[in-house]
């Protein structure tokens, strides 16, 4: 089974990568901007009418998702994803550079989605805001659709990985509600996994409300609070450097992630957040910044699903 290349890319490295773009091995930016429901900004309008990286396509986390789900932007089905990337004009040999206009926020989720569905080469731009600080060019000409304007080659039509390969990726990298509930009910979750919740700490403890009306705040039993902001440099909005992230895990949880011994006796790590977006920031901090090859699963429904479905005794609050 082939494995996707997934890496973090600085703005200057992206500019250099563009020089290697060819019709058969294109460099295609992917605008994956997404905002929280309480944010008045419009990600689609920004892409169509304000600015984007030149030749970018727009990956809509809400639209390219599981249809009719009561939970937001759940992972799409195999067919929905593959139809969507064809609609965006993408080719299998494209080297995708995923970014979002908040810096490091929704782009990790989109980059992970592409890798989960087997796209061969995916880069995460670290990050768009920092890119603009260098006064690198952006495209401000209005566009009419979400596909890349780069001309696709008929001989390079998008060929997805097999369903069985995707299903294996999904099994390895995603955990669903039923399995998580079973682990909690059997008091096995903390024995098998470290669970990191990327929401702000006040929402984790129950002190502050969730941004989605009517949804209780709190946390999954035995989960650990790791707000994604602790992994991001507040000045340039890029990922913090390796030693800073190592220090966060050591200071907050007593975990030494300088080697994989910290997982001794456990099956791996579970990451979650409000709706499965910023959880991947934690996943990538471990994989792309620390360079660890350890089992990490994303709880796709995350807190929105858990707070909606779990028995009340499994919605823990510290207030």
Q: What's the chain's length in residues?
A: 319
How many angstroms separate the CA atoms of 194 and 66, rounded?
A: 27
How many angstroms separate the CA atoms of 124 and 108, rounded?
A: 7
The yes-or-no answer on residue 238 being catalytic is no
Exactly one of 273, 277, 280, 288 is catalytic; which is it? 273
How many angstroms separate the CA atoms of 140 and 52, rounded?
A: 7
Q: How far is CA 278 from CA 8, 127, 183, 282, 301, in A?
A: 16, 15, 23, 7, 12
Active site residues: 273
């Amino acid at each position: 089974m082939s494995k996707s290349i997934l890496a973090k890319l600085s703005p200057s490295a992206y500019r250099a990568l563009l020089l290697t773009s060819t019709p058969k091995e294109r460099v295609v930016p992917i605008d994956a901007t997404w905002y929280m429901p309480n944010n008045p900004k419009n990600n689609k309008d920004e892409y169509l009418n304000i600015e984007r990286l030149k030749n970018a396509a727009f990956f809509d986390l809400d639209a390219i998702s599981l249809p009719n789900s009561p939970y937001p932007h759940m992972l799409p089905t195999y067919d929905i994803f593959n139809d969507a990337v064809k609609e965006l004009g993408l080719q299998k040999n494209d080297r995708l550079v995923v970014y979002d206009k908040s810096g490091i926020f929704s782009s990790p989720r989109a980059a992970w989605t592409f890798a989960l569905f087997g796209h061969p080469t995916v880069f995460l731009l670290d990050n768009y805001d920092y890119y603009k600080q260098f006064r690198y060019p952006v495209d401000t000409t209005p566009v009419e659709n979400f596909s890349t304007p780069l001309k696709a080659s008929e001989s390079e039509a998008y060929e997805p990985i097999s369903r069985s390969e995707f299903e294996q990726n999904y099994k390895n990298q995603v955990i669903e509600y039923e399995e998580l509930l079973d682990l909690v009910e059997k008091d096995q979750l903390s024995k098998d996994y470290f669970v990191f919740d990327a929401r702000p700490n006040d929402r984790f403890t129950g002190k502050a409300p969730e941004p989605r009306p009517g949804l209780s705040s709190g946390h999954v039993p035995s989960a650990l609070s790791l707000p994604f902001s602790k992994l991001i440099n507040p000045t340039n909005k890029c990922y913090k450097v390796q030693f800073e992230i190592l220090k966060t895990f050591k200071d907050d949880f007593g975990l030494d992630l300088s080697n994989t011994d910290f997982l001794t006796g456990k099956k791996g790590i579970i990451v979650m957040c409000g709706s499965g977006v910023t959880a991947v920031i934690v996943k990538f901090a471990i994989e792309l910044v620390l360079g660890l090859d350890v089992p990490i699963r994303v709880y796709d429904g995350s807190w929105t699903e858990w707070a909606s479905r779990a028995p009340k005794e499994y919605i823990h609050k510290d207030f």
